[in-house]
Structure 1
Amino acid sequence: MHTRISSCFIHKMVKSRSLLMRCMYAVSIRGFAKATIAQPRHSTTGNMMNAWVTSEFGAPMVKTTMRIPEVSNTKQLLLKVKAASVNPIDTIMRDGYGRTIISVCKQIENKSLAPLSFLPFIGGRDCSAVVEYVGQGVSKFKRGDEVMAVIGPTYAGSHAEYVLARECWCAPKPANISHIEAAALPYVSCTAWTALVSVARINARNAYGQHVLIHGGAGGVGTAAIQLLKAWNVGKLVATCSADSFKLVSSLGAKPIDYRSETVKDELRSEGPFDVVLDCVDSELARWSDNVMGIWRNSVHVTVVSPTLRETDSYGILFGFASTAMKYLARSVDPAWNGRWFAYAYFAPNEECLNFISRQLGNGKMKAIIDQTYSFNELPAAYEKVAQRHGRGKTVVDFDKH
């Protein structure tokens, strides 16, 4: 029994680490595929754009005039941003969160032996945009197409008038939705997809009959996860949220439970056991909910709040990964005795996910949950709003709003 549990610990730890490495691969190694044929200069070459830039960690963002980036890879697109969301990750990356791993990824991408700076930083991990220019190897899009896109963490973000993206980071924007709606879903959907599909192994083929609990059901990742699971006809779906978010969560198809209620644990016990727990908040209640997972049913608790980036920022790559592994083992001991598994999940661009949500939005089977919109000039206020972590749905910047 001890040997079995120890081997399962190792398997799950390696799985989480390998997932992070695959995510790093997804946003970095493909950068080796640099253009072997020089890209022709396009009409925006040498032109200027506005972007919100952080030049020092913790310093205020400054609206800056800078050159429009040039396509340097045959599979890149230059996008003219029409709307972009603000995610919690943006608000902490401007303070340096993730700088160690992202700098290493940049080195790999650029085949550089010298360290590459995390600064200057431009936030924005997704957007809705119009294609301005395409690399010679791009086959799915052309100039003038409307797309929804995620932006990998090694790239300058979408809180600028123009942004570069890879072809596999883009999907067609449905004609029946606005740019604001299209900008709200790519990043959070890819994050939820990684947690559910890549880690928890739940998908359209096996979701029926499974019971899922989501902590943070009214947030961006939570609302995206609920809609993905409902599209796959999941058996039971329960989500914790505040009482004033009940209407939203119910409208998406999940049973809401007030995480502030004195009876919340009893309510969760009565709804369980669960096959999958998705933690979007890293709360004491989320950690306790191991107790309402199925016993020896291969149930899994997956969290999108991992210590990996924080630990590597503090201790470097080697010791940061070692520290994360120790935290993972400590977190996994108790649930493993009952055949309950724990894992971390990380955002990674996913073309299959983007095309799926594009179809769902086009068919009216998925919707963007917009909490508040801001103009491009109001972007710092949008950051401050998102940093409070109490939003219902997404905060989106409308570049056409004045």
Structure 2
Amino acid sequence: MKAIGFKTSLPIENEDSFIEFEIIKPKPKGKEILVKINAISVNPVDFKIRQNSAKDIVLAEPKIIGWDAVGIVEAIGDDVSLFKVGDEVFYAGDVTKQGSNATYQLVDERIVGFAPKNISNTEAAAMPLTSLTAWEILFDRIRISKEKDKGKSILIIGGAGGVGSVAIQLAKKIAGLTVLATASRNETTDWCKQIGADHIVNHKDLMNDVRKAGFEHLDYIVDFVDTNDYWDIMVELIKPQGHIASITGSSEPIVLNKLKSKSVSFSWEFMFTRSMFQTDDMIEQHHILNKISALLDSEQIVSTVSHTFKSFTVENLKEAHKLLESGKTIGKIVIEY
């Protein structure tokens, strides 16, 4: 089967930053399903792993990355109970396993959902990783519920990005929150408004813009850009007994003590935690993806695909990574097979 990967970490402009190669099509066992992939999308985690996982070394076998796919189940392991051959599925996969930049992929059924029926493969491929991340940060980490939290305020830092674009929709349309999203360019501002943000605030003058929007403090803040850069602003803007959550990690230690006087909670979100540690509730990602699929089919939320490449080639994968690395992308980039 065809796959695209790398043996060493190189700048994306380098001829060998991605290479095409052939490997034997794997066979599923246990809870694994074998998926024939129809479309994939790219995420910032892709280029970060490409840039850092094989620095100053040459791998014996190429590393396959990619953590978003939609496709058809071609074979199942002996312990599979959720899917059958022929089912159309979508998923983000497991960062500790080979990724989706190939024509076939093995994936544990517990982190796979049934693909939406009323949208295209291209639209569906854009959604798994970002939807899982946004859902988990809002409903598993902060534990927002419409019943108790409707009308409360949330600031989404990085509104036009892949995760932010889903978080805006879930926060507004599913949780009933008042949504503030950061954006600075005309195109990102328009995008955030289009998908449901109530207020757009400029990240370059965030404190003042939030106040100008009429908010002294906010119930919730989620960071999809840089925890360190925004930490002091988040500490100032969060309400007493509020909740801050982030997906971005931190290059420097975070001073959690700054949250003490307000009794503010803080959470990390890492979408791969459940699969990486084989947690007892790993199957929750199956359930979440099925909920996302239903929301897409009922048009309560929309796909965030913004750019499509028409063929699974080294050249197109390189171009997709170049766009992501520019930091200027809106929504998601999809590659069709």
TM-score, structure 1 normalization = 0.72
Kindly indicate whether residue 77 of structure 2 is the aligned counterpart of residue 135 of structure 1: yes
Kindly indicate whether the alpha-carbon contact (under 8 Å) linking 2:3 and 2:22 is maintained by their aligned counterparts in 1. yes
How far did 1:97 drift? 4.8
Select 1:289's aligned residue among 219, 229, 234. 234
Question: Hey, what's the Cα distance between the residues in 1 that align with 2:198 and 2:91?
Answer: 30
Is the alpha carbon distance of 1:398 and 1:287 closer, same or farther for their aligned partners in structure 2, counting shifts above 3 Å? farther
Q: Once the two structures are aligned, what percentage of the paired residues are identical?
A: 29
Select 1:211's aligned residue among 153, 161, 164. 153
Question: Hey, what's the Cα distance between the residues in 2 that align with 1:335 and 1:178?
Answer: 44
Kindly indicate whether the alpha-carbon contact (under 8 Å) linking 1:205 and 1:232 is maintained by their aligned counterparts in 2. no
Counterpart amino acid of residue 222 in structure 2: L
Q: Point out where structure 2 has 5 or more consecutive residues left out of the alignment.
A: 11-15, 275-284
How far did 1:194 drift? 2.3
Counterpart amino acid of residue 373 in structure 1: T
| Matching residue of 2:291 | 356
Counterpart amino acid of residue 287 in structure 2: E
| Matching residue of 1:21 | none
Is the alpha carbon distance of 1:260 and 1:194 closer, same or farther for their aligned partners in structure 2, counting shifts above 3 Å? closer
Kindly indicate whether residue 211 of structure 2 is the aligned counterpart of residue 277 of structure 1: no
| Matching residue of 1:380 | 318
Counterpart amino acid of residue 384 in structure 1: K
Kindly indicate whether the alpha-carbon contact (under 8 Å) linking 2:157 and 2:203 is maintained by their aligned counterparts in 1. no
Counterpart amino acid of residue 78 in structure 1: L
Q: Deviations over 1:84-106 (max 9, x none)?
A: 1100000011123599xxxxxxx
Kindly indicate whether the alpha-carbon contact (under 8 Å) linking 2:144 and 2:175 is maintained by their aligned counterparts in 1. no
Q: Deviations over 1:133-170 (max 9, x none)?
A: 11122222221211111211111111111111111121
| Matching residue of 2:301 | 366
Question: Hey, what's the Cα distance between the residues in 1 that align with 2:194 and 2:27?
Answer: 43
SS at match of 1:275: strand
Kindly indicate whether residue 271 of structure 2 is the aligned counterpart of residue 335 of structure 1: no
SS at match of 1:223: helix
Kindly indicate whether the alpha-carbon contact (under 8 Å) linking 2:4 and 2:20 is maintained by their aligned counterparts in 1. yes
Kindly indicate whether residue 19 of structure 2 is the aligned counterpart of residue 95 of structure 1: no
Kindly indicate whether residue 122 of structure 2 is the aligned counterpart of residue 153 of structure 1: no
Question: Hey, what's the Cα distance between the residues in 1 that align with 2:100 and 2:177?
Answer: 37
| Matching residue of 1:39 | none
Question: Hey, what's the Cα distance between the residues in 2 that align with 1:256 and 1:391?
Answer: 21
How far did 1:204 drift? 4.2
Question: Hey, what's the Cα distance between the residues in 1 that align with 2:84 and 2:3?
Answer: 24
Kindly indicate whether the alpha-carbon contact (under 8 Å) linking 1:246 and 1:256 is maintained by their aligned counterparts in 2. no
Is the alpha carbon distance of 1:261 and 1:153 closer, same or farther for their aligned partners in structure 2, counting shifts above 3 Å? closer
Select 1:75's aligned residue among 31, 39, 48. 31
Kindly indicate whether the alpha-carbon contact (under 8 Å) linking 2:182 and 2:203 is maintained by their aligned counterparts in 1. no
Counterpart amino acid of residue 274 in structure 1: L
| Matching residue of 2:246 | 303
| Matching residue of 2:282 | none
TM-score, structure 2 normalization = 0.86
Select 1:171's aligned residue among 100, 113, 121. 113
| Matching residue of 1:197 | 139
Counterpart amino acid of residue 268 in structure 2: Y
Kindly indicate whether the alpha-carbon contact (under 8 Å) linking 1:207 and 1:229 is maintained by their aligned counterparts in 2. no
How far did 1:346 drift? 1.0
| Matching residue of 2:329 | 391
Is the alpha carbon distance of 1:354 and 1:118 closer, same or farther for their aligned partners in structure 2, counting shifts above 3 Å? farther
Q: Deviations over 1:265-296 (max 9, x none)?
A: 2221232421110000016346413211112x
Kindly indicate whether the alpha-carbon contact (under 8 Å) linking 1:207 and 1:235 is maintained by their aligned counterparts in 2. yes
More helix by share: 1
Q: Deviations over 1:37-84 (max 9, x none)?
A: xxxxxxxxxxxx11111112336110111111221x321110011011
Matches within 5 A, 1:242-253: 242-244=184-186, 245-253=188-196
Runs of 4+ in 1 over 4 A off after TM superposition: none
Question: Hey, what's the Cα distance between the residues in 1 that align with 2:203 and 2:195?
Answer: 21
SS at match of 1:83: strand
For the pair shown, the structure with the greater C-alpha radius of gyration is: 1
Q: What's the Cα RMSD here?
A: 2.2
Counterpart amino acid of residue 278 in structure 1: V
Matches within 5 A, 1:212-251: 212-244=154-186, 245-251=188-194
Is the alpha carbon distance of 1:118 and 1:290 closer, same or farther for their aligned partners in structure 2, counting shifts above 3 Å? farther
Select 1:254's aligned residue among 180, 190, 197. 197
Q: Point out where structure 1 has 5 or more consecutive residues left out of the alignment.
A: 1-48, 100-116, 311-323
Question: Hey, what's the Cα distance between the residues in 2 that align with 1:194 and 1:259?
Answer: 26
Kindly indicate whether the alpha-carbon contact (under 8 Å) linking 1:243 and 1:258 is maintained by their aligned counterparts in 2. no
Select 1:346's aligned residue among 263, 267, 270. 270
Matches within 5 A, 1:2-81: 49-58=1-10, 60-71=17-28, 73-81=29-37
How far did 1:397 drift? 0.8
Kindly indicate whether the alpha-carbon contact (under 8 Å) linking 1:211 and 1:234 is maintained by their aligned counterparts in 2. no
SS at match of 2:207: helix
SS at match of 2:34: strand
